[in-house]
Structure 1
Amino acid sequence: MPKSLLSGIATCGVCGGAMKAGVIRDIRSYRCSVSPHLSRKRDDADHFITHVVLDRLARPDAAEILRRDDAPNVAELRVKMLAKQQGEADVLALVAGGHTTLAKAEATLRDLRAEMGTLEAQMSDAGRVDVLGDVLGRAEGAGDAYEARGTAVAEAWAALHMDRQRAIVRALRSIEMRSPGKGSRAPRDAAGRLAHTEATLALTWHQAIASAHV
């Protein structure tokens, strides 16, 4: 079971593969599970995503933006997801067995992963209010002031199990990790590191949230 915030949730900006948590030269990192062509520092990525998520949940309109009255059938979506996952596994098995090359399989894998991303977003929509209930409840109890709501949301987030934090991240955004460019180094100051990390993460709000001002 993943013990890091973004493992299996963030995708590789080079090939679309899942980014998995690991340690590279004693540095906690996320690296592409398909090829070693991309890795990012785990602590920086986790810090930035947490910052973005808590900022969004602290806003007064968070509850309305995240509520869905037309939630899809989760059981049906899970069946479709399993079929897509099996399709991905079959293609990767062909590559591993030497029956085709990764280059030839990339288009098929990209389509399968895009379809899985859509299904994942739909499943997240179905359970979004339940997943966020504790955090939003604390925010509502803090009143309308952004600072007070932010403190309440941060405290509620810190008290959540990693699985719940991951579920919230998955419900809100799709995350693609990208290379900062050859030779690029993150600044030492906190603000500079945050900006440097932001430049290497492509974030997409899921549809129910994107329709509102974010």
Structure 2
Amino acid sequence: MKTPDGQQIRAVIYVRISQDRTGAGLGVERQREDCEALAERMGFEVVRVYPDNDISAFSGKKRPGYRRMLDDLDAGTATVVICWHTDRLHRSPTELEEYISLCERRGITTHTVQAGELDLATPSGRMVARMLGAVARQESEHKGERVARARLQKAQAGEWAGGIRPFGWGLPTGGTRVVADKKTGDEIEVPVLDYDKAVPGEAALVLESTEDIIAGKSLRGWVQLLADKGVVSTMGNPIGTIEWRDILLRPRNAGIVIYRGQPVGRGKWDVIVPEPTWRAAVAVLEDPARRTTPGNRPRWLGSLLFECGKEGCLCPGPMKVSGTGNKDHRPAYRCQLGQVTRRADVLDDYVRDVILERLSRPDAAGLLLPLADESAVAELQAQQVELRGRLTTLASAFGSGLVDASQLAEGSSVINAQLSTVLAQLAAAASKDPLVDLVGTADPWAVWKGMELEQRRNVLRALVTVRIRPGRRGRMPDGSYQDMESIEFEWKRTP
């Protein structure tokens, strides 16, 4: 087809698929082939194809291919748009009106494989486009409701909702299924996985790491361990600190089903972390005091833990470590008003020696926190089950019309407050005393040496408050220039 002056009409093709489960792009490829066949029948010259793969028009996410097409059309690249159906272009009235405005301004017509031609320069063409857009949006909303309902039903039944294989689960069943290769599009056989069954090696890593986090070990150390072992994500990518933290925080680890951010029941899958242990780890990982950027990661035992002990000093917080300003530039603890300064390495070594000496005494076992009472833990677990049951009963009563929305909200608020208290007590019962590895061991010095810095800082936090008072000047009786008698230890635990 040509223009009145004999020029061939230039067209562009737009293709989109909302959900590409295989990643092979086969849906947009089939649309492109149909659109190219239509262009050939109509005699159009196709100058460009704009694909948007695995992007929904209804979701509101940015569609880069679509936006480039609009810019090019406004610049005069073509006067015809070809798509498989109008719902490939729009499922939003706002987007449709923008497209209509552009078509009116530039004299652009739209041809579809399924719905024929739309001349948006005419009132009737715009009316048809708006009607088709309204139908498409209703279909999207209806589909969204169906998907949400299906997901809620799966969650209430304790079933896996689908998606990428979660790290820790997915044992092969022995069967296979045919899928399209993500790179080539060829059909290949892949094993069928049971997502309710834990993968022993991965599950063991999650459990061990969860327990280590409670004991004070760092995420960075675990990520390095995973890298050393060659462990990767279920997508085959290296696991970073943020990714591993997210894995440890998953309620799924403890068998808890979450729907829209709220627990709705117990999963049918294998539990790989006991719930109290998981909750104790969550409390550690979500502690705001733990979150640091690489720039302010503690490098010293007492950084932001040692306190200024000068009488009358109004410094706003604990001591920090910085350069001393002398010719050696040796790091030093400083009061935040600069009134007390001590060499960091000397002070850390002295505090370490005092702590280990105290934990080496015969009465050190009396410093440990009492073990959780098994009968008390069992009672807390029974309370948890009973409170969750009351929540379920209350929700059923609301569904049956026996209680109204305000009664549901009030009752749920009370029960959830009680449940939070019980869960906090369970998490505390699962927490590990940071002193336990040092007390009773034949060589606490060797144990301390094998600890990560954060574990040592946890021992300091749990056992003693250290205050640094101004020291005497000159040589001390032991020949050093460090006045250790001005270091004050306030023990938090007594036998």
**TM-score, scaled to structure 1:** 0.56
Matched, 1:10 2:312: no
Q: Secondary structure at the match of 1:36?
A: coil
Counterpart position of 2:323: 23
Name the structure with the higher strand share. Answer: 2
- Kindly provide the CA deviation profile for residues 33-53 of structure 1, in whole angstroms up to 9, marking residues without a partner as x: 2x1222111122111111110
- Kindly provide the CA deviation profile for residues 2-34 of structure 1, in whole angstroms up to 9, marking residues without a partner as x: 11000111111233531011111202100012x
Counterpart position of 2:450: 159
Counterpart position of 1:54: 356
Matched, 1:202 2:491: no
| Residues 61-210 of structure 1 aligned to structure 2 (within 5 Å) | 61-68=363-370, 130-136=433-439, 139=441, 142=442, 152-181=443-472, 184-187=473-476, 191-193=478-480, 196-206=482-492, 208-209=493-494
User: Who wins on radius of gyration, i.e. which is larger?
Assistant: 2
Q: 1:157 to 1:19 in 2, by over 3 A?
A: same
- Kindly provide the CA deviation profile for residues 185-211 of structure 1, in whole angstroms up to 9, marking residues without a partner as x: 355x9x4449x44222111001x32xx
**Distance in structure 1 (CA, Å) of the matches to 2:299 and 2:438:** 20
**Distance in structure 1 (CA, Å) of the matches to 2:475 and 2:459:** 27
Q: Secondary structure at the match of 1:30?
A: strand
Alpha-carbon RMSD:
2.9
**Distance in structure 2 (CA, Å) of the matches to 1:164 and 1:202:** 22
Q: Secondary structure at the match of 1:134?
A: coil
Match for 2:439: what amino acid? L
**Distance in structure 1 (CA, Å) of the matches to 2:430 and 2:490:** 19
**Distance in structure 1 (CA, Å) of the matches to 2:305 and 2:451:** 18
Name the structure with the higher helix share. Answer: 1
Q: Secondary structure at the match of 2:451?
A: coil
**Distance in structure 2 (CA, Å) of the matches to 1:127 and 1:38:** 40
Q: Is the CA contact (8 Å cut-off) linking 1:128 and 1:171 kept in structure 2?
A: no
Q: 1:185 to 1:27 in 2, by over 3 A?
A: farther
Q: Secondary structure at the match of 2:362?
A: coil
Percent of aligned pairs sharing the same letter? 28
How far off is 1:129 after superposition? 5.4
Counterpart position of 1:36: 338
How far off is 1:153 after superposition? 0.3
**Distance in structure 2 (CA, Å) of the matches to 1:153 and 1:18:** 28
**Distance in structure 1 (CA, Å) of the matches to 2:466 and 2:368:** 18
- The alignment covers a number of residue pairs equal to 138
Counterpart position of 1:117: none
Residue segments in structure 2 that go unaligned for 5+ positions in a row? 1-296, 373-427
Moved over 6 A (4+): 125-128
Match for 1:177: what amino acid? I
Q: Secondary structure at the match of 2:301?
A: coil
Q: 1:171 to 1:192 in 2, by over 3 A?
A: farther
Q: Secondary structure at the match of 1:135?
A: coil
Q: Secondary structure at the match of 2:444?
A: helix
Match for 2:468: what amino acid? M
Q: Is the CA contact (8 Å cut-off) linking 1:135 and 1:153 kept in structure 2?
A: yes
**Distance in structure 2 (CA, Å) of the matches to 1:155 and 1:193:** 26
Match for 1:157: what amino acid? W
**Distance in structure 1 (CA, Å) of the matches to 2:475 and 2:437:** 35
Q: Is the CA contact (8 Å cut-off) linking 1:9 and 1:18 kept in structure 2?
A: yes
Q: 1:158 to 1:127 in 2, by over 3 A?
A: farther
Q: Is the CA contact (8 Å cut-off) linking 1:173 and 1:203 kept in structure 2?
A: yes
Counterpart position of 2:119: none
**Distance in structure 1 (CA, Å) of the matches to 2:352 and 2:475:** 18
**Distance in structure 2 (CA, Å) of the matches to 1:44 and 1:127:** 36
Q: Secondary structure at the match of 1:40?
A: strand
Residue segments in structure 1 that go unaligned for 5+ positions in a row? 71-124, 143-151
Q: 1:192 to 1:9 in 2, by over 3 A?
A: farther
**Distance in structure 2 (CA, Å) of the matches to 1:126 and 1:15:** 38
Moved more, 18-27 or 158-167: 18-27
Q: Is the CA contact (8 Å cut-off) linking 1:66 and 1:129 kept in structure 2?
A: no
